[in-house]
Amino acid sequence: MNSNGGFVLINTIIAVVVVIVVVLTVILSLRHYTQHGEEVVVPSITSLYLEEANIVAASEGLKIEVIDSTYSKKTELGTIVEQNPKAGAKVKNGRTIYVIQNARFRRPIFLPELHDLSVRQAERTIKGLGLNVAEIIYEPSMYKDIVLDVRQNDSSLVAGSRLEEGVSLTLVVGKGQGTAEVNVPSVIGKSLHDARSWLLGNMLTIGVVEYDSIPTEETQSAYVVFSQSPESGTVVVEGTSVNLKLSMDIEKTITADNEQSEEDFF
């Protein structure tokens, strides 16, 4: 073999070796980059709190990402209700597990207007909202089986009150007029909510409610009673309804209160 032929052969061998080295380097790099052959089994993280799930996933070289939230009564608040990939699946190290988390707080419920509904209607409405009726109390009223008041922990509630799902309520329901006599108290200057509670405490109910101007959702709470019928001091039987007139004009309230005081004096 002449020198030129030997030179070509050597160069060819060197070229082949270089190519082999480059190919092997690329393959090894790719295997390292993709972590080929390094698989882990996805652990079960459902029913765990997110903080707990992060620890479990990290111990397997995995990550967690919350992609959605929901509200479920079947699992604890704040826990994971669904995961992808599922538990038991084999994935590469460093893979992200996508999860759906249960809400951290109970779903808020706004109490609808239940006064003057039949007790059956009120019960259906309450249960349909995810609330419970813990007790039904019957008190004297002109109207039988009609809801007079809605209470939670002995406090009267108004329409729009914010409640947590699952809480228990007490319904105060009319049982018809009684026979005992009571004195009508004065509710002048009280809000409709307070007047209702005050009258119920005296075995009376609210009858017709009139406003001297049309109330809005924002101004409703600013109205107070400036007139009532029967007037305070009148002797009536239990369950009698007291008709009320309300206004935002404080002067009307003061005038009505003064007139009542003069009548009581004489």
Nearest to 124 by CA among 107, 141, 147, 106: 147
Distance CA 83, CA 81 (A): 7
Residue pair 130/166 in contact (Cβ under 8 Å)? The answer is yes
What is the structure's pLDDT at 64? 94
Does residue 168 register a pLDDT over 80? yes
Question: Are residues 94 and 110 part of one domain?
Answer: no
Q: Is residue 58 part of a domain?
A: yes
Question: Are residues 168 and 143 part of one domain?
Answer: yes
Other Cβ atoms less than 10 A from the Cβ of 5: the count is 9
Task: Output the six-digit token pair for 254.
Answer: 């003061």
Q: Is residue 231 part of a domain?
A: yes
Per-residue pLDDT tens over the stretch 197-244: 899 989 999 989 999 999 887 888 899 999 999 999 999 999 899 999
Does residue 16 register a pLDDT over 70? no
Q: Is residue 18 part of a domain?
A: no
What's the pTM? 0.56
Q: Which of 31-35, 101-105, 145-149, 172-176 has the lowest mean pLDDT?
A: 31-35
Domain end (from 128, 153, 176)? 176
Does residue 1 register a pLDDT over 80? no
Does residue 46 register a pLDDT over 60? yes
Question: Are residues 87 and 135 part of one domain?
Answer: no
Q: Is residue 244 part of a domain?
A: yes
Domain end (from 102, 120, 150)? 102
Give CA 210 to chain center in angstroms.
33
Question: Are residues 169 and 214 part of one domain?
Answer: no
Does residue 175 register a pLDDT over 70? yes
What is the structure's pLDDT at 257? 61
Question: Are residues 171 and 240 part of one domain?
Answer: no
Domain end (from 143, 176, 209)? 176
Does residue 123 register a pLDDT over 60? yes
CATH number of the domain where residue 187 is located: 3.30.10.20
Q: What is the rounded average pLDDT of the residues 30-35?
A: 53
Q: Is residue 26 part of a domain?
A: no
Does residue 30 register a pLDDT over 60? no
Give the total number of structural domains in the chain: 3
3-state secondary structure of 68: strand
Q: Is residue 1 part of a domain?
A: no
Residue 72 lies in domain:
39-102
